[in-house]
Structure 1
């Protein structure tokens, strides 16, 4: 008889003083993206702490947790999880661990099947109809102003670079600029002391090269490619160079050819005179160009 009382007392103690862990899955078959509901309840806590996985981390990977709410009172614990799965197949909610007052408890596992309820040929309707929005000039400006400004800046830069290059080329070919550059070249030739050293061949080669380059750029006559005789004929028929300057060029160029082929050996006085005459010709070239402009009416 005492044994019966003891057993009944033990059962009553367990039912009164032990915790009850329960779980429930609302639906075991879900459509793709359908929201499912999973509940865990613990009763008769008697103020004990409940420890489980953090919020939104209780369910496995494929379960997209939408909402995870926990209600924890001294005698009752409830956790409600709303979830969705976006791939077809069968998925398992395993036995989940809950630590209650230092003791480990487990929920029962569940299997969830996810199916695609859409049928071939089903009409898909938008949730909300598209709205037509009319845009005015101000709206288009706000949308594309940076693109427009960028294109304008790029065009402005191209325009500026083009005219700077063009101005630099024109300035480089100005008569005064060409005259000054040639005078510098002549001074550099003088510093080489070909005259003082009697190196007449090197002197005339460089003197004629400088002169040919000057005539080509200043008078627009292809002196850099013409033979001496042809150049003299072109100068006489062109009438751009004055007779005085033509005479200087003709005499010095012919003498240079003779020196080149060792048919004559000029002395220092002749070389100095030819140098001075070419220098005078370069300085007087601007008058030839002014006369040409008056003659052609440009």
Structure 2
């Protein structure tokens, strides 16, 4: 007798202090889009933490959760989910798991019938008769203003790109840019005082190097890779450079080669004249290009 009483007390205490999960479903038959509720309650938590699927993710596919509210106190976990179903048929809410401490609790499964209450021959009546509304210009503007503004923006962008490509930038290798850059390089050469100090070899090496780069850019001739004799022969055959400029280039380049191989030793006056002649050649180059363009047009 005492043994039975002891077992009864143990079972009673276990039930008194263990968690109890209960669930209830409001409706088991629903119309399409009708709201239903499922409520889950866990008692006797004894300050245990409850772990379950997060809000709006507890129910499976087909059940569109409208609202999922969760509240928990020291002893009670309460969760109320509002949901709808938008397809006809039979659907199952399976066992839903809740972890309390290290223990897994599950609800019972529920079967739900979803039916379409609308009949094929049902007549749908408007609450109010349709009205013809006359739209003003401002109404059309409000309706289509974003499309109009977007179209204007696209057209403006296209115009801006065309203007920029055609007029807004000057090629770095344009005749004016090449001329101004070469004149600055000649000024820098003059400031190095090679003429005054008699350093004729360095003077002619840099002078001819500047001139070759200029001819390559301005006249599109491979002056930076050809030997002097080949370059002079090409200029005479090409007819792009005027005879006056050809003569300057030929005299300075030939003298530069003689200085380079120590076959001649120019004086200060000759060096200054060669620098001035190259400068004038650079300035006159634009006339050569203008004449060439006219010849192409003809």
Residue aligning to 1:292: 292
**Alignment-derived partner of residue 243 in structure 1:** 243
Unaligned runs of 5+ in 1: 1-24, 38-54, 67-85, 93-110, 130-136
Deviation string 1:238-259 (CA, Å, 9 cap, x unpaired) is: 1111212111101111111122
The equivalent of 1:43 in structure 2 is none
For 1:180, the equivalent position in structure 2 comes to 180
1:50 matched residue in structure 2: none
Q: 1:265 offset after TM fit, Å?
A: 2.2
1:260 aligns with 2:260: yes
Relative to structure 1, the CA distance from residue 182 to residue 127 in structure 2 (aligned partners, 3 Å threshold; closer, same or farther) is farther
- Higher Rg of the two aligned structures: 1
Q: Residue 214 of structure 2 corresponds to which residue in structure 1? A: 214
Task: Report the Cα distance in structure 1 between the residues aligned to 2:97 and 2:180, rounded to whole angstroms.
Answer: 92
CA separation of 1:232 and 1:115: change in aligned 2, threshold 3 A: same
RMSD, matched Cα: 4.5
Shift of residue 279 of structure 1? 1.4
Distance change >3 Å, CA 293–CA 57, structure 1 → 2: closer
Offset of residue 278 of structure 1? 0.9
1:168 pairs with 167, 170, 173, which one? 170
TM-score by length of 2: 0.53
Give the conservation status (yes or no) of the 8 Å contact 1:248–1:281: yes
Kindly tell me the number of residue pairs found equivalent between the two proteins.
206
User: What is the distance in 1 between the residues matched to 2:115 and 2:153?
Assistant: 43
Aligned pair in 2 of structure 1 residues 125, 248: CA closer, same or farther (>3 Å)?
A: farther
User: 1:42: which partner in 2?
Assistant: none
Matched, 1:117 2:112: yes
CA deviation map 1:173-199 (0-9, x unaligned): 443443233222211110010111111
Structure 2 CA distance for partners of 1:283 and 1:127, relative to 1, 3 Å: farther
Q: Aligned in 2, Cα 1:124/1:215: closer, same or farther, shift over 3 Å?
A: farther
Q: CA offset at residue 125 of structure 1?
A: 5.2
1:163–1:125 Cα change, 3 Å: farther
Does the 8 Å CA contact 2:201/2:260 hold for their aligned counterparts? yes
